[in-house]
Amino acid sequence: MSFNFKKLDIPDVILIEPRIFRDERGFFMESYKSSEFKKFGIEDNFIQTNQSRSKKGVLRGLHFQRDPQVQAKLVQVISGEIFDVAVDIRKNSPYYGKWISEILSDENKNMLYIPAGFAHGFCVLSDEADVVYSCDKEYAPETESGIIWNDPDLNINWPLSDVIVSEKDQKLRNFREIDIGVKYV
């Protein structure tokens, strides 16, 4: 098996540890293998891949898309280190309004599977970070939404206090002010 799948405190969010083959030339690993993901219950068909580069202290998020474009994501860091966060926004979920975080880096090579119905954000801990994430639905600006990163009800313990947030993300609303429109299945 090329991956170790680990259910987290919110069991639908899965930490994926790839098997890494290292030698004097460098390393080799599989980043995705449909058959192994499906064996573990991750059946999403990833159809769009995005990449961002951000400097230390940049905080992106908390973003999500509304129905019918609700996205599942597979997040990985190809250089640098981030504090990655997923917030359960599925109404009637036992974890509704709860968040989970993981450190993802080019060193640990771990990936985070975030199913549809979660808001996602991250904060860059290294001097710079390149983040790649695959989505199971295409980006649709008309369904784009988000939650303010420092929402007092979510109370996310971001590791940096001095963050750089885009003007757009600074205008996002609080969790309780948003009609999320994502149902728990």
Model pTM above 0.85: yes
Q: Look at residue 92 in the predicted model and tell me its pLDDT.
A: 87
Regions of the chain with pLDDT less than 70 = 1, 179-185
Mean pLDDT over the full length of the chain:
94
The second-level CATH assignment, the architecture, of 3-177 is Sandwich (2.60)
pLDDT at 76: 98
> Which residues are catalytically annotated?
63, 133
Q: Which of 87, 68, 69 is nearest to 8 (CA)?
A: 87
Per-residue pLDDT tens over the stretch 46-66 = 999 999 999 999 999 999 998
pLDDT at residue 167 in the model: 97
Per-residue pLDDT tens digits for 116-131: 999 999 999 999 999 9
Q: Domain map of the chain by residue range?
A: 3-177
CA distance to 30, 58, 146, 147, per residue, from 101 (Å): 23, 16, 17, 16
